[in-house]
Amino acid sequence: MEIARERQDASGRPARRLRIALGTLAVLVLAVVLVPLIVQLDQQLVDLRAASLPPSPGHPFGTDEVGRDVLIRSIYGLRVSILVGLVAAVASVLIGGLVGLAAGAAGGVADRLLMRVVDGFNALPHLLFGIFIVALFAPSAVAVVVSVAVTHWTTAARIVRSEVLSLRGRPFVDAAISGGSGRLRVIRRHFLPNLVSHLLLATVLMIPHAIWHETALSFLGLGLPPHLASLGNMINDGQRSLLAGDWWPSLFPGLFILLPTLAVSALAQHLRDRTNPRWRSELVL
């Protein structure tokens, strides 16, 4: 009886986590979409009369040191971070997917050579290498996207290569090759359809990393321009307020980074369980 109850509780936890994650993401997406339509950021200009106000009904997240509403700016910052993170994640997975597909499909010397390139990129500190790349450009969203794509594609490359190597040993691939199908046809008809779920999972997992990377670069003053309401820029600006005892200008932008990260991680866990049901059964047992 106890074992059955424990199994039922274990099987219900993923569903609850998924509902909480989807609910959190839905609220954040609605806020990101609707709030800019209602409140223009231009209306949140400097107002020294309302500077450094603590959280209150009029300003739920308080105001910063120059009187700007922290809630409005956090929502705008989250919109920028999600957009940059999504584009950067897609770009990095696209690069890694192409490299992994080429390595797995070619095999031999080409596979070994491409994997040594992957190992070389993995040996580089991502943040330091990203700073070097961003330093080549003026602070902009494009620079951040390039930085994330160049430093984070190796994970997708390994995932895709591993799956392609697994597919190469399947009977239907052997049958297609024996029937005279060329390499490009095998890739198009057999490899790519079986890689869609893995690429989707890699993209979802990459979004939090891209957001963290953008936030870290903006916090260091190397990411998005200072005039943009970026979460990293807001946390950087909030450091000065901490010395005066004002905790809210840094805390709430930090929460706006943490919440979507946890929600996306829970969603990625669910997608992984759906892609690999065996992992889920092992977890329950």
pLDDT in tens, 180-227: 666 777 787 778 888 888 888 888 888 888 888 888 888 888 888 877
Looking at the domain assignment, is residue 50 inside a domain?
A: no
Looking at the domain assignment, is residue 227 inside a domain?
A: yes
What lies within 8 Å, CB to CB, of 78 at 6+ separation is 28, 31, 32, 231, 256, 260
How much of the chain, in percent, has pLDDT values that exceed 90? 11
Q: Which of the four pLDDT bands, split at 50, 70 and 90, describes residue 42?
A: low
Q: Which of the four pLDDT bands, split at 50, 70 and 90, describes residue 117?
A: very high
CATH code: domain of residue 192? 1.10.3720.10
Looking at the domain assignment, is residue 129 inside a domain?
A: yes
Looking at the domain assignment, is residue 62 inside a domain?
A: no
Looking at the domain assignment, is residue 8 inside a domain?
A: no
Looking at the domain assignment, is residue 5 inside a domain?
A: no
Q: What span, in angstroms and rounded, lies between the C-alpha atoms of 190 and 193?
A: 6
Provide the residue range defining the domain that includes 157: 70-284
Region of residue 108 (left: phi > 0; alpha: psi -120 to 50; beta: else): left
pLDDT score at 9: 45
Looking at the domain assignment, is residue 9 inside a domain?
A: no
Looking at the domain assignment, is residue 92 inside a domain?
A: yes
As for how many domains the chain has, the answer is 1
Q: How many CB atoms lie under 10 A from the CB of residue 168?
A: 16
